[in-house]
A = this chain, B = another copy of it.
C-alpha cells in the first residue's frame, strides 16, 4: 500500500517481490503469438507511414512482449496508476515496436496505429509522453531514457512504491557516455528496482562494419559483460528471441538486490527473412510488394 504525494492511498494490491512461478508452455505460446502479431503491426504501420525504423523495432518486439504481457504490473484501465511498472524505450527510434505492443495490450487504440508519424497523431516518430499516458518517458535522443529511468526508479523508492522500471537500450546506444553516467550512479546507489535490457542486435546505424576486418572490432559493444560487471551491475546474457529465456530472466529481476542488465542477443529485422541481419533495413521504406511479403511471412 502506497501513500502518494496527493495523500491518496492506493488500494491496489502491492506487487509481490517473491519469485514468480515457472512460465507454462501455454503462456509461452500465447506470448509468441502476440509477438508475431505485433511484428505484423510494425510492418503495417511503418509501411503505411512510409517512414520510420524497421530493423530495430523487429529486434525489440520479443523483449517488449515479454515485458508488457508477462512481467510488468500495469492496468490498461488506469494507465497512470502510480504503482504501475514503468517501461522506457531509450532506443526511441524503435517506437513502432512500442506502439504495436501498447495497442495489443490495450494501452493504445488500434486505430491510432495507422496514424503513426502523421500530423496530430499521438504516435510521434519518437515516443512522446505528452501525447499518451501509456508512454512513460519521451525518448529519441539516444542515451537519455536510461537516466530518466534511473530517476523514476529512485522516485519509486522514495515514494515507497513497489513500481519497477525497465529500460530498453540499443547496443549502439551504449556508446553514449550518458549511459555510463547512469550505470555508475545506479551502482553507487544500488538501485535494485531498475532493470536495463540491451537489444544486442550487433548493428547500429553505420558502425565499423565497413572499416575493420579485424575480428571483433566491428562489434557495437566490446566486452559488454565485463564492462557492466565492472560497473557493479548483475549481468545476464540470453537469447533475446527466446521467449522462455526472456520471461524467466525478466521475472528474476523482481527479486534482484542490485541493478540488473540483461544482454539480450537479438537480430535486426527478426521475423522477416529478407530483413534479418540486413542493416539496410535500419530505416528503409518498404515497397508494397516487400510489405506484402513480410506480412505473409508473419502469417498475417
Interface residues, chain A, with chain B CB atoms under 8 Å away: 143, 175-181, 184, 187-188, 208, 217, 222-223, 226-227, 229-232
- Which residues of chain B are near A143, meaning CB under 8 Å? 177
Q: List 18 A-B contacts (CB under 8 A).
A: A143-B177, A175-B181, A177-B177, A177-B178, A177-B181, A184-B222, A188-B208, A188-B222, A223-B230, A223-B232, A226-B229, A226-B230, A227-B227, A227-B230, A227-B231, A229-B230, A230-B230, A230-B231
- Which residues of chain B are near A231, meaning CB under 8 Å? 227, 230
Q: Is the interface of A mostly helix, strand, loop or mixed?
A: helix
Not counting A177-B178, A188-B208, A229-B230, a sample of 20 additional A-B residue pairs whose C-beta atoms are within 8 angstroms of each other reads A143-B177, A175-B181, A175-B184, A176-B177, A176-B181, A177-B180, A177-B181, A180-B180, A184-B222, A187-B222, A188-B217, A188-B222, A222-B232, A223-B230, A223-B232, A226-B229, A227-B227, A227-B230, A227-B231, A230-B231
Q: How far is the CB of A221 from chain B (nearest CB, A)?
A: 9
| Copies of this chain, count | 2
A13 vs B92: C-alpha distance when bound (angstroms): 53
For the complex of A and B, list the 7 residue pairs with the smallest distance between their C-beta atoms, beginning with the closest.
A177-B177, A226-B230, A230-B230, A180-B180, A177-B181, A227-B230, A177-B178
Max chain B Cβ within 10 angstroms of own Cβ: one of A181, A217, A227, A229: A227
The residue of chain B having its C-beta at the shortest distance from the C-beta of A221 within the complex is B184
A230 vs B183: C-alpha distance when bound (angstroms): 14
Q: How far is the CB of A118 from chain B (nearest CB, A)?
A: 35
- Which residues of chain B are near A176, meaning CB under 8 Å? 177, 181
- Which residues of chain B are near A179, meaning CB under 8 Å? 177
A176 vs B178: C-alpha distance when bound (angstroms): 8
A256 vs B75: C-alpha distance when bound (angstroms): 57
Q: How far is the CB of A210 from chain B (nearest CB, A)?
A: 14
- Which residues of chain B are near A177, meaning CB under 8 Å? 143, 176-181
A181 vs B142: C-alpha distance when bound (angstroms): 14
- Which residues of chain B are near A178, meaning CB under 8 Å? 177
A177 vs B146: C-alpha distance when bound (angstroms): 13
A255 vs B257: C-alpha distance when bound (angstroms): 43
- Which residues of chain B are near A226, meaning CB under 8 Å? 229-230
A117 vs B42: C-alpha distance when bound (angstroms): 59
The residue of chain B having its C-beta at the shortest distance from the C-beta of A174 within the complex is B184
Q: How far is the CB of A198 from chain B (nearest CB, A)?
A: 15
A43 vs B67: C-alpha distance when bound (angstroms): 59
- Which residues of chain B are near A187, meaning CB under 8 Å? 222
Q: How far is the CB of A219 from chain B (nearest CB, A)?
A: 9
